[in-house]
Chains A and B, each alone.
Chain A
Amino acid sequence: MLRITGGKVHDPANGIDGVVKDICIADGRIVAEGDGGDRGSGTGTMGGRTIDARGMVVFPGGVDVHTHVAGAALNFARGITPENYRKAIRFTHAPDRRAGLGGITPTTFATGYLYAAMGWTTVNEAAVPILSARHTHEEMHDIPILDKASLVLMANNEIVLDLLEAGEVERARQVVAWLVWAAKAYGVKAVNPGGLVAWKSGKNASTLSAPVEGYRRVTPALIIAALAAIVDDLRLPHPLHLHCNNLGVPGNVATTIETMKTLEGRRAHLAHLQFHAYGGDDWPTLRSEAAALAAHFNTQKNLTADAGAIVFGEAMTITADGPWEHVLSKLTGRKWSNVDVENETGCGIVPYTYKERSLVNAVQWAAGLELLLLIDDPWRIFLTTDHPNGGTFWRYPELIRLLRDADYRRERVKKLPARARERMVLADLDRQYTLSEIAVITSAGPARALGLSRKGHLGPGADADLALYDENPAGGVMFQSPRYVIKGGEVVVEDGEIRAVTEGREFISRPAFDEGVADYLRPLFEKVYTIAFDNYPVEIERLAQPDIHACP
């Protein structure tokens, strides 16, 4: 039993906005006052440890709806940038703690420590090829403390696209369901629909209504509509997680708005919206169209999004959007990696530095913040940097400060190039996020969008994942370092130090499908893949702590 007393609780999912109240925890869950007496080892709300949280705010543990913390692509990036680790924060091994390195692409153990030390307790790995899902799960197992979910890449899967070409929608749904379970994933991700298929012939898919290279009927628009419908029909807890076409390209706001229209009211989550919010015809004329995009988004209640905001400094661009990475490597001259994955997807990797004095980067920086400020419902826009693409997750506190302080924001805008300042509206925005709104965009909102009913709130029955921050921290910047972080009822961080290293769970979905679909897939698979069909699905026994969501 653990009691947190005297703190101002921000639990927006339960309508609690800065009220001083006690939080009681038993057996890893939040319990009502006086409850829990007979649970577990008989430790009731009477007795056990009490944390004096006077002068602190109490938040539900952070939930990252879109991040890249494990998997073949990230591990590839680690391997080609040893220079980044030289200046990274070091975690020395101890009897209860594995060693690791932080930096732009932290090692798995360091990832757990760094997220937890910031107050985040759940993360969603947003891009998993089925062919290497086994590897992704091995890495996620080595991320301590955090609970994890993962999304499997589907919008360039040639078996699925062939079925859509043939108009076999029902069978496509069966195949998608089988693939989600094969990968032991939580949901479905679509990256640059059709673009990766085209990229394997050196092309891209930049027009939503044009047939994808190698197909006659299948267009990006058709893929988007079909997958959104399939995810809904399968009753997956998280809607289609969509990385729109034309990421990073000047003028791409038109594609983004057209994508929203293509969805026709279906649920979807638009990933890293900042990278899809540009006007202009080329790089010299690039401007932020966040205002227009936000205005349209505000009317589309079926959608959620995450910001994909950038922070100035070092980053690592890693995306299944292979053609974009090739463009980026040509723009920057930085080292370029590309891994095409047979029949499914691919990925590109280019290290990147966002510079305050760069016109393009200044516009990107503003666009991310503008979206967060101009999208009026905080329950539909969440804080991310598309880690490590727009900057690392451990820099979220800097973005929170910018959202909460309009004067500070204007000071920062003044430092940007004059030409860039004409192409943004950020300095005109007066909105300042309240503490509860911060709790929404960092925890309650993403938990709801992910369909994780025990995350993102502090009502009875919720997982006891909490972060306690000083209301007036000594250093002056709130959220930089929580006083306490509690995960599953255990105090894992105290005064910025890791106190306990626990093991997290993995959320996976089990959509319904006809077992016979495997018989349909086997001969197709053996024709185009190079591994045995029986080696394709990840065995459930491989997951140490699976938490299976059966789709009704």
Chain B
Amino acid sequence: MGGKVTCTLGEVKNRADFIVYWGGNPAECHPRHFSKYTLTQKGRFVPEGRKGRTMVLVDIRETPSVRAADLFLQIRPGKDFEVLTTLRALVKNQSVDAARVAETGLTIDQLRDLAGRMKRARFGVLFFGMGVSMTRGKHMNSAAILRLTAELNAFTKFVCMPMRGHGNVTGSDMVLRWTTGYPFGISMARGYPRFNPGEFSTVDLLVRGDNDAALILGADPGATMPQPGIEHLSRIPTIVLDPKVTHTSRLARVHITTAATGISAPGTVYRMDEVPLPLRPALKSPYPTDADVIQRIRQAVAAKPAWTSAPCSA
């Protein structure tokens, strides 16, 4: 199990005739997604544009994204895994219990129709949001989507992609992978990278109060973390690099104002499909860039004597 069958967004634009959004509200959260990549663009193999594409939205409630959908399937909260697993069975013509399916909020006929449409698609794509990856079932839901997508390739071309957001989260993921081998949840405490989500991921460290200092870059955990984590951040020396005042900067011991990347500082941003884009600053800033500040901190730390008696080597 595992693996991911995906593509860059231009493939969706040029080829996708069947598009599913699951557990997300792109009309409000990724407002340019429909117009730049998935629905209204004319693609090389979808010359009709919107008319050549079918869009299905799966969610637990009606959102403004429903207006853009050809078909809206409303499922009961927390039933994503069951629906996905049923689809996997139906795609392979296995029998399912109609009564159990009804618990998901959808009928077996609705799901049979969806499975049929997926298999008949010329090029299908499934975008999944935090409404499925971060709700009951969490990574099991994501795994079910990855499997369903892979299995559909026995019948047609089908891909999937998580609807990532939050600024350059994909960029952070990419850099950590090439430097440490792991995407997130990494401990360098022993001098080499170790990975254990649930143990080393930020939320778990903060909630348990394991860390005795925090350096925060490009994020506002003071706005999003559980309350015990936020309280821990305000207890320990917290240093924030941010162009503006945030929830986190208000509780931090130190806030270093930096130039806004992409506006007054250069850099690279990764799109959700892992395509890197250069950032060219339009304005000048009196503030240093994040990179400048980190370099200067690093140099100052390097100038200090080692705190261990003998640095170990591999």
Contacts and interface: CB of A to CB of B under 8 A. Distances in A.
Interface of A: 70, 72, 75-76, 78-80, 82, 85, 88-95, 98-101, 103, 105, 107-109, 131-132, 134-135, 138-139, 142, 158, 200-202, 326, 329, 334-343, 346, 349-350, 497, 527-531, 535, 539
Contact of B153 (A105, A202, A528): A202
Contact of A343 (B10, B174, B177, B268): B10
B179 A142 contact: yes
Interface stretch (B95-103, B241-249, B257-265, B275-283): B275-283
A483 B15 CA distance: 55
Q: Top 7 closest A-B pairs, CB basis?
A: A342-B10, A335-B3, A92-B191, A340-B7, A335-B2, A90-B192, A337-B3
A135 B191 CA distance: 26
Interface of B: 1-11, 13-15, 36-37, 43-44, 122-123, 150, 153, 156-157, 159, 173-175, 177-183, 188, 190-193, 195, 268, 270, 274-278, 302, 306, 311-314
B174 A135 contact: yes
Nearest to A106: B181
B278 A134 contact: yes
A135 B175 CA distance: 10
Contacts of A349: 3
A535 B179 contact: no
Nearest to B44: A528
Contact of B8 (A75, A131, A337): A131
A529 B10 contact: yes
A101 B277 contact: no
B36 A338 contact: no
Given A101-B192, A103-B181, 5 more contacts: A98-B179, A138-B268, A338-B153, A343-B14, A535-B277
Given A98-B179, A100-B179, A326-B153, A132 B275 contact: yes
Contact of A101 (B2, B14, B159, B181): B181
B173 A79 contact: yes
Contact of A72 (B13, B159, B193, B274): B274
B144 to A, nearest CB: 14
Given A78-B178, A92-B314, A335 B1 contact: yes
B4 A80 contact: yes
B181 A337 contact: no
Contacts of B4: 76, 80, 337-338
Contacts of B153: 202, 326, 338
B178 A70 contact: yes
A80 B2 contact: yes
14 contacts: A78-B177, A85-B195, A90-B192, A90-B314, A91-B192, A92-B191, A100-B192, A101-B192, A131-B275, A132-B276, A135-B270, A334-B3, A336-B5, A529-B10
Contacts of A338: 4-7, 153, 159
A259 to B, nearest CB: 27
A338 to B, nearest CB: 5
A341 B15 contact: no
Contact of B195 (A82, A109, A139, A342): A82
Contact of B157 (A75, A88, A201, A339): A201
Contacts of B43: 528
* Residue among A90, A107, A530, A535 having the largest count of chain B Cβ atoms under 10 Å: A530
Contacts of B311: 92, 94-95
A200 B278 CA distance: 27
Contacts of B302: 95
A78 B275 contact: no
Contacts of A329: 3, 150
Given A100-B179, A107-B178, A530 B9 contact: yes
A85 B181 contact: yes
B271 to A, nearest CB: 8
Given A101-B192, A337-B3, A337-B5, A79 B36 contact: no
A349 B4 CA distance: 9
B268 A134 contact: yes
B14 A340 contact: no
Given A200-B15, A201-B157, A75 B6 contact: no
A135 B177 CA distance: 12
A464 B272 CA distance: 43
A318 to B, nearest CB: 12
A10 B13 CA distance: 55
Contacts of A336: 3, 5, 150
Nearest to A202: B157
Nearest to B153: A326
A497 B13 CA distance: 51
B178 A339 contact: no
A335 B147 CA distance: 9
A517 to B, nearest CB: 21
B12 to A, nearest CB: 8
Given A337-B4, A342-B10, A107 B180 contact: yes
Contacts of B7: 338-342, 346
Given A94-B313, A99-B192, A76 B178 contact: no
Contact of B191 (A93, A107, A158): A93
B44 to A, nearest CB: 5
Contacts of B13: 342, 528, 530
Contact of B314 (A89, A103, A200, A343): A89
Contacts of A529: 10
Contacts of B11: 200, 340-342
B237 to A, nearest CB: 22
A75 B278 contact: no
A108 B179 contact: yes
A340 B193 contact: no
Nearest to A70: B178
Given A107-B178, A108-B178, A135-B174, A530 B157 contact: no
A89 B314 CA distance: 8
B58 to A, nearest CB: 23
Contacts of A200: 11, 15, 123, 157
A109 B13 CA distance: 36
B157 to A, nearest CB: 5
Nearest to B154: A330
Contacts of B190: 92
Nearest to B10: A342
B192 A530 contact: no
Given A72-B274, A101-B181, A201-B157, A340 B174 contact: no
* Residue among B123, B150, B193, B314 having the largest count of chain A Cβ atoms under 10 Å: B314
Nearest to A497: B313
B235 to A, nearest CB: 28
B10 A139 contact: no
A338 B158 CA distance: 10
A335 B2 CA distance: 5
A76 B274 contact: yes
* Residue among B174, B183, B270 having the largest count of chain A Cβ atoms under 10 Å: B174
Nearest to B306: A95
